[in-house]
Structure 1
Amino acid sequence: MIAFLGMGLLGSNFVRALISKGESVQVWNRTASKATALETYGAKAFADVTDAVRNADRIHLTLKDDHTVDEVLAAATPGLKPGAVIIDHTTTSAEGAIARTKAWKERGFTYLHAPVFMGPANALESSGNMLVSGDQAVISTWQPALSKMTGMVINLGDAPGKAAGMKLIGNSFLVGLTAALADTLSLAKALEIPVSDVSSLFSSWNPGAALPARLQRMTSGTYNNPSWELNMARKDTQLFIDAAKKGNLTLAVIPAIAAEMDRWIEKGHGNDDWTVIGKNSI
């Protein structure tokens, strides 16, 4: 028996996929209607989280944050089956994942943090990526079951908090990328260039293909053989800002990048490769 706690878009689609594979799933959500909606697909909904986890061999979580995970698990504790495994897909702090792994082991339960790079559609299709780290015996035992839920389970090694950390790193990139795209679209609007033309540009010229080489250059520690000098990158950055201002639009990310560039230029790095602005991060 499987229990699933947290029936948001991700959790509810995980449940639907599990049921389609023949699993029996008990569900709970703080807003009860989100759990009862899954009964249409064959889930059994409970208003009390203690009842939802009763007799379950494994309990999956897709909740909001560290506090919510701790709160819900505390409430569920009286109903937990001895030796049950808790598999947490919530995006949390690394510290929280480490603490829960230790605390639940001391109480006789297995806690495995398994955050995901998956949207609701991936959860329904059992595609995408799931991250795990920590006790390799535990991972070896549960990887076959987790593999049925996702396209790929990525084992990051022995450190129990590493999966949580890598999830945060990935989300940080996605947040930065989306904010940068918002600025890009604002610049296009200011320059009266249609979004369709921007899309066509990125279809022909894929800047994402340069990511591995850019990361290597940024982390090399050597910046005196530039492919794009910081002074020139800063000049272009000002052109972005000026064009947006003329179009009565405000950029969210670029001004902060310009300020960081200015700090490095003041340190004497204007003729270095512009990736020097990431030097203190390595």
Structure 2
Amino acid sequence: MIAFLGMGLLGSNFVKALRRKGETVQVWNRTASKAKALEADGAVAFEQVADAVRGADRVHIVVKDDAAVDEVLANALPGLQPGAIIVDHTTTSREGAIARTAAWQAKGFTYLHAPVFMGPANALEGSGFMLVSGDQSLIAKMEPLLAPMTGKLLNLGDETGRAAGLKLIGNLFLVTFTAGLADTFALAKALEVPVDAVADLFKVWNPANTLPTRIQRMTGGDYSKPSWELNMARKDTGLFMQEAAQAGVPLNIIPAIAKVMDQWIAKGHGDQDWTIIGSAALQ
């Protein structure tokens, strides 16, 4: 029997998917009505978290952050049966995941951090990615149970906390990617280019296809054979800001990047590949 704690959009769809597979699921949420709503799908809702986990072999949790995970699990402890396995899908700090793995082991329970790159639709249909790392014997035991919940279960090795770290890194990329698109749309507005035209361009010329090559160039350590000189990239960055300023459209990310470019140019790297601006993070 499974208990699921946290009935937000992700958690509730995980529960619906589990119920469609015929699993018995007990649910809890801080706002009790959200858990109660899952009874229409055959889940059993409880107002007290300790009651929700009672009798469960597996306890899944997906809440806001480290503090919420610690609080909810502490309140659940009186109801946990010996040997229960806790699977935490919350995006948390690396340190928190490591500490909880050890703390719950000391209490006689198993804790596995399994964050996801999944939206609510993915949770419902069993697609997307779930990350795990740590005790490989535990992961081998859990893989048949977790794999059906996701499109791909990624085993990242035996280092506890690696899954938490790569989840944060992935989310950082998503944040910067979206922020970059926001500036892209802002420049399009300044230049009176419809967003549809931008989307059409990216359908034909997809910058995401260059990501492996970009990573290789950035991490190679040799910036002396530029495909785009830093001076030229900075010139274009100046044009972005000039066009946006003339149209009264703010850019949020590009000005900060321009400052970093200026710092590297001042150090004499203007004729090198522009990806040198990321080299400091690789040292």
Judge same fold: TM > 0.5, yes or no: yes
1: CA distance between counterparts of 2:67 and 2:216?
37
CA distance in 2 between counterparts of 1:86 and 1:126 reads: 20
Match of 1:180 in 2: 180
Instruction: Tell me the residue number matched to 1:46.
Output: 46
Matched residue type, 1:240: F
SS in 2 for 1:148: helix
Name the structure 1 match of 2:227: 227
- Aligned residue in 2 for 1:9: 9
> Which residue number in structure 2 is paired with residue 141 of structure 1?
141
Structure 1 CA distance, aligned partners of 2:183 and 2:33?
A: 39
Alignment of 1:36-115 (within 5 A): 36-115=36-115
Matched to 2:261, the amino acid is M
Amino acid at match of 1:230: L
1:30 aligns with 2:30: yes
Which residue identity does 2:80 align to in structure 1?
L
Aligned residue type for 1:272: Q
Structure 2: how far apart are the matches of 1:176 and 1:133? 25
Structure 1: runs of 5+ lacking an equivalent:
none
Residue 247 of structure 1 deviates from its aligned partner by: 1.3
> Paired residue for 2:123?
123
Counterpart CA distance in 1 for 2:8 and 2:252 is 30
Letter in 2 for 1:184: T
> How big is the shift at 1:69?
0.2
Structure-2 separation of matches of 1:87 and 1:34: 21
- Give the letter for the 1:171 counterpart: N
Q: Quote the Cα distance in structure 2 between the aligned partners of 1:91 and 1:221.
A: 32
Give the partner amino acid of 2:272.
Answer: D
Q: How far apart are residue 246 of structure 1 and its match?
A: 1.1
- Counterpart residue identity of residue 231, structure 2: N
SS at structure 2 position matched to 1:140: helix
Which residue identity is paired with 2:256? A
- 1:20-66: CA deviation from partner (whole Å, max 9, x where unpaired): 00101000000111111111101111110010000000000111000
Instruction: Letter of the 1:49 partner, please give it.
Output: V
Q: CA deviation at 1:133?
A: 0.1
1:190 aligns with 2:190: yes
AA aligned to 1:213 is: T
Work out the number of aligned pairs and report it.
282
Find the residue that maps to 2:250 and give its secondary structure.
Answer: coil
SS where residue 36 of structure 1 aligns? helix
Match of 2:214 in 1: 214
The aligned amino acid for 1:154 is: L
Pairs within 5 Å for 1:145-164: 145-164=145-164
Segments of 5+ residues of structure 2 without an aligned counterpart are none
Partner-residue secondary structure (3-state), 2:111 = strand
Structure 1: distance between partners of 2:180 and 2:203: 17
Partner in structure 2 of residue 273 of structure 1:
273
Measured in 1, the distance between the counterparts of 2:177 and 2:203 equals: 17
Distance 1:26 1:89 in 2: 17
How far 1:103 moved relative to its partner? 0.7
For residues 179 and 221 of structure 1, the distance between their equivalents in structure 2, rounded to whole angstroms, comes to 27
> Deviation string for 1:84-137 (max 9, x for gaps)?
000000000000000000111111100000000000000000001000000000
Q: 1:246, 1:29 → 2: CA distance?
A: 50
Instruction: Name the aligned partner's letter for residue 83 of structure 1.
Output: G
What is the rounded CA distance, in whole Å, between the counterparts of 1:177 and 1:109 in structure 2? 39
Cα distance in 1 between the residues matched to 2:4 and 2:246: 52
CA distance in 1, matches of 2:167, 2:192: 37
Sequence identity (%): 68
Matched letter for residue 191 of structure 2: L
Work out the CA distance in 1 between the residues paired with 2:234 and 2:111.
48
Aligned to 2:253: 253
What SS is found at the alignment partner of 2:3? strand
State the secondary structure of the residue aligned to 1:92.
coil
Structure 1 residue 215: deviation in Å? 0.5
TM-score, structure 1 normalization: 0.99
- Distance in structure 1 (CA, Å) of the matches to 2:248 and 2:9: 37
